[in-house]
Amino acid sequence: MQNLGLMKIRLTLARTKEFPDGSTLRGYEFKAPLDANGHIDADAWKQSRHLCRVRRFWDGNDETGLLLHRPGGSWAFVYDIAGGDDPEAGYRFGAHAFLPGEYVSIRDDDGVLNTFQVASVQPA
């Protein structure tokens, strides 16, 4: 099977009221196929979705799940594969480039929208 551009992307919490300097102890690490411009490649994801895992780390509490491409083109992280919990939605993930220093937002399962900075992108 070809590599399909699978990358390991690390996001860390950007500045918030509670964390004025951000936090490297809160964030996400996930694998996704990226195109040459750093965008998630939906076609390559279809071929490698079983490899597109996510780890949410939050002050020592980790959850693992999958990167999901939902109907309509949006992206989300899902931890409860059986479908009992709401997924965490990436805000405009399809339009954002996952390049170090860029910012992305994720709405957690409680409906809170947090901003994260792309800390690193490296081959998976």
Residue 109 confidence (pLDDT): 76
Between CA 57 and CA 72 the distance in angstroms is: 28
Residues 99 and 121 sit within 8 Å (Cβ to Cβ) = yes
Between CA 5 and CA 7 the distance in angstroms is: 6
Residue 83 confidence (pLDDT): 58
Question: What is the residue extent of each domain of the chain?
Answer: 6-123
- What is the pTM (predicted TM-score) of this model? 0.90
Residue 84 confidence (pLDDT): 59
Per-residue pLDDT of the chain in tens (124 residues, 90 and over written 9): 445 679 999 999 999 999 999 999 999 999 999 999 999 999 999 999 999 999 999 988 899 999 999 888 889 999 876 555 667 778 878 788 999 999 999 988 788 899 999 999 999 9
Residue 1 confidence (pLDDT): 40
Judged by phi (left if over 0) then psi (alpha if -120 to 50, else beta), residue 49 lies in alpha
